Chains A and B, each alone.
Chain A
Amino acid sequence: MKKIRINKSLKDNLITFGLVTVAFIAVEILKMTGHISSLMKGLLVPVCIYIICAIALNLCVGILGELSLGHAGFMCIGAFSGAFFSKCVQDIITFAPLRFTLAIIIGAVFASIFGFLIGIPVLRLKGDYLAIVTLAFGEIIKNVINVLYVGLDDNGFHFSLKDVVSLKLLPEGKVIINGAQGITGTPNDSSFEVGFVLIIITLIIVLNLIHSRDGRAIMSIRDNTIAAESIGINITKYKLMAFTISAGLAGVAGVLYAHNLSSLMAQPKNFGYNMSITILLFVVLGGIGNIRGSVISAVLLTLLPELLRGLSDYRMLIYAIVLIVLMLFNWSPKILDLRKKYSIKNLISKSKMKEAE
């Protein structure tokens, strides 16, 4: 019998997929037996959203090596374009799965287009400058959507940046995007099961990309741009590729977000830079460049404030302290030395050495 050879990356990927699937099945069983509180149930879809976002941002930060603080902006674009589509075709396509699939494709495409357009100028910058410009773009997107009015009547679409009146709609026309009030009455198509499928699709896309020729090119840019350039890798192309895919996936998360709520507004708390930072936290604490780590940390960090709910007012404070302590524990050179000195492996080998003496 021929022995099936499994290479390391395939094994790694299978572990990731297995982990997600097992977690999904476990939650489904808990749901069926009624062991999940309604609070936790409400968190299931947000967890999926955060996982997708974290994977998307990890592609940008960990694999491409460029710090982006604007992913909430791409989420925002995905959310609004997806919800806009759903709202427009609500009466035409009544079959929800088809409508939602189309909405997701549209959200992803729009977010990717914006990612591509923004990426062209932005990716020329480096390091912290790139971070601040992506942050700026995220804020611009949020601000513009807050003053955007779009209406639909028999004459087609009407756009305005001022108010509803200036749309000049016919009496029977309806306002779809109502400035700061956003989109209301989006069909509630998101569910935990859909979220799970989307996570798997995201994982397939990202993991395949990382282990492909293109992915290795992207990682070579991260490790040494000049060396990569000197062996003939097209820097701009691969940077844009990773950034666009990352933006598109963030858009998918946005569509999921939009269809989870009945009213969608672009507020600082859901699409502001704070959101981008929250996603960045998942990526960094899960391990930069480690996709499985992002998934795990997105789940844990979303649940942590809820698990601490018993401590009511103190929970966010504890969250902050946990964050600082974790960073110090993981990265401080002195603590790393101490950890090495007193690690189990080291202690075992020391005791062995004593025995030998």
Chain B
Amino acid sequence: MRFISYLINGISLGSVYAIIALGYTMVYGIAKMLNFAHGDIIMVGSYVIFCLMSGAGVSPLVSVLISIVACTALGITVEAIAYRPLRGAASSLAVLITAIGVSYFLQNMALLIFGANTKQFSSVIKMDPIILADGKITITGETIVTIVCCLIIMIVLLTFINKTKAGQAMLAVSEDQGAARLMGINVNGTISLTFAIGSGLAAIAGMLLCSSYPSLTPYTGSMPGIKAFVAAVFGGIGSIPGAFIGGIILGIIEILSKAYISSQLSDAIVFMVLIIVLLVKPTGLLGKMIQEKV
């Protein structure tokens, strides 16, 4: 019974990772860059909800919507100011460092506005826990909403990419930017759209993360960001189902190793699993193998 409740917690944490990892993987697939600032967008989203709810007394649903809009706008702005000018730059490291710069910027901005002390985030989700097997398993409302959210996002995203024109444009751009441009696809617009979706997802992830783990600091986003990045790589970066599976597996491993092995070593175990997977399958679980040509 204990095991099952750990498993459910793991899936819940994994769902959050999966949502963040989706943002990572989409941006990577399309812009071929590691967006290090992604984790900090989560933090910004959470602060927006925090301010609206405890500061202005706005209802949870409205504040979540505003936070999504705010993060989307932030994502588009960051892309336009910091990343777009570097497209076509000689070194791919240049974009990586710029992303790190943006990450520092967002963290220090939050530090300046909100201060370094931890803010108590009150849960957005008001739902009674479900009690199963005579109280041996308790599933909190946060857990249910997180898992359901993740599934809905996953389905909507897959439909969007496979069925709509904008989604097909994304696939085309991630395949070959030059060819996509020749076919009349607005490459810059498509990349902006990708950043917008990724950042919107980050806002949702921030809401879910802070509802389950209610302490908010300017650095809240960075570790989940890295973990989600690991999840994206684990599942095969660039692949949407891969990010989902990677996130869930990572969450389960983390919770189970916290419960059964050592809470201090859980991060080490997560990273160890990643390394083993990458050594067996160098492009991740669902990653595409690209043949190297001479």
**Chain A residues close to B by CB (< 8 Å):** 61, 67, 121-122, 124-126, 128-129, 131-133, 135-137, 139-140, 143-144, 146-147, 161, 180, 226, 273, 277, 280-281, 284-285, 288, 313-314, 316-317, 319-321, 323-324, 327-328, 330-335
* A143 close to B275 (CB less than 8 A): no
* B264 close to A143 (CB less than 8 A): yes
* A314 close to B112 (CB less than 8 A): yes
Chain B interface mostly: helix
* A333 close to B265 (CB less than 8 A): no
How far apart sit A122 and B272, CA to CA, in the bound complex (Å)?
Answer: 12
Residue of A122, A146, A280, A324 near B82 (CB, 8 A) is A324
* A128 close to B34 (CB less than 8 A): yes
- With an 8 A cutoff between CB atoms, is B292 at the interface? yes
Residue of B86, B96, B268 near A332 (CB, 8 A) is B86
The 3 closest A-B pairs by CB, nearest first: A136-B271, A323-B101, A331-B94
Which of chain A's residues has its CB closest to B276's CB?
A: A121
Known: A133-B278, A139-B268, A332-B89. 10 other contacts (CB 8 A): A61-B93, A128-B233, A136-B271, A137-B275, A180-B264, A327-B98, A328-B82, A328-B98, A331-B94, A335-B85
- With an 8 A cutoff between CB atoms, is B267 at the interface? yes
* A319 close to B104 (CB less than 8 A): yes
Residue of A61, A137, A334 near B271 (CB, 8 A) is A137
Known contacts A128-B34, A143-B264, A147-B264; A333/B271 CB under 8 A: no
Residue of B102, B112, B267 near A139 (CB, 8 A) is B267
| B278: chain A residues within 8 A (beta carbon) | 125, 129, 132-133
| B108: chain A residues within 8 A (beta carbon) | 316-317, 319-320
Q: Which of B245-267 contact A (CB under 8 A)?
A: 262, 264-265, 267
**Chain B residues close to A by CB (< 8 Å):** 28, 34, 36, 82, 85-91, 93-94, 96-98, 100-102, 104-105, 108-109, 111-112, 226, 229-230, 233, 237, 262, 264-265, 267-268, 271-272, 274-275, 278-279, 282-284, 292, 294
How far apart sit A343 and B93, CA to CA, in the bound complex (Å)?
Answer: 25
How far apart sit A67 and B102, CA to CA, in the bound complex (Å)?
Answer: 20
* A327 close to B271 (CB less than 8 A): no
> What are 12 of the A-B contact pairs (CB < 8 Å)?
A121-B279, A129-B237, A129-B282, A133-B278, A137-B275, A139-B267, A144-B265, A147-B262, A147-B264, A281-B97, A314-B112, A332-B89
| B262: chain A residues within 8 A (beta carbon) | 147, 161
* B105 close to A317 (CB less than 8 A): yes
How far apart sit A313 and B116, CA to CA, in the bound complex (Å)?
Answer: 11
* B89 close to A333 (CB less than 8 A): yes
* A313 close to B265 (CB less than 8 A): no
| B229: chain A residues within 8 A (beta carbon) | 132
How far apart sit A143 and B286, CA to CA, in the bound complex (Å)?
Answer: 28
Residue of A129, A144, A317, A330 near B94 (CB, 8 A) is A330
Which of chain B's residues has its CB closest to A333's CB?
A: B88
Which of chain A's residues has its CB closest to B115's CB?
A: A313
* B237 close to A280 (CB less than 8 A): no
- How many Å from the CB of B278 to the closest CB on chain A? 6
Give the interface centre of A121, A143, A334 by most chain B CB atoms within 10 Å.
A143
How far apart sit A284 and B94, CA to CA, in the bound complex (Å)?
Answer: 8
How far apart sit A251 and B85, CA to CA, in the bound complex (Å)?
Answer: 37
| B94: chain A residues within 8 A (beta carbon) | 284, 327, 330-331
Known contacts A129-B283, A136-B230; A320/B98 CB under 8 A: no
* B230 close to A132 (CB less than 8 A): yes
How far apart sit A181 and B266, CA to CA, in the bound complex (Å)?
Answer: 19
Residue of B86, B97, B274 near A323 (CB, 8 A) is B97
| B267: chain A residues within 8 A (beta carbon) | 139-140, 143
Known contacts A132-B229, A284-B97; A323/B104 CB under 8 A: yes
- How many Å from the CB of B40 to the closest CB on chain A? 11
How far apart sit A137 and B268, CA to CA, in the bound complex (Å)?
Answer: 8
| B86: chain A residues within 8 A (beta carbon) | 327-328, 331-333
* B104 close to A136 (CB less than 8 A): no
| B226: chain A residues within 8 A (beta carbon) | 135, 273
| B284: chain A residues within 8 A (beta carbon) | 129
Which of chain B's residues has its CB closest to A315's CB?
A: B108
How far apart sit A286 and B90, CA to CA, in the bound complex (Å)?
Answer: 16
* A136 close to B82 (CB less than 8 A): no
| B104: chain A residues within 8 A (beta carbon) | 316, 319-320, 323
Which of chain B's residues has its CB closest to A126's CB?
A: B282
Which of chain B's residues has its CB closest to A61's CB?
A: B93
| A131: chain B residues within 8 A (beta carbon) | 34
- How many Å from the CB of B130 to the closest CB on chain A? 34
* A136 close to B275 (CB less than 8 A): yes
How far apart sit A161 and B105, CA to CA, in the bound complex (Å)?
Answer: 38
| A333: chain B residues within 8 A (beta carbon) | 85-89
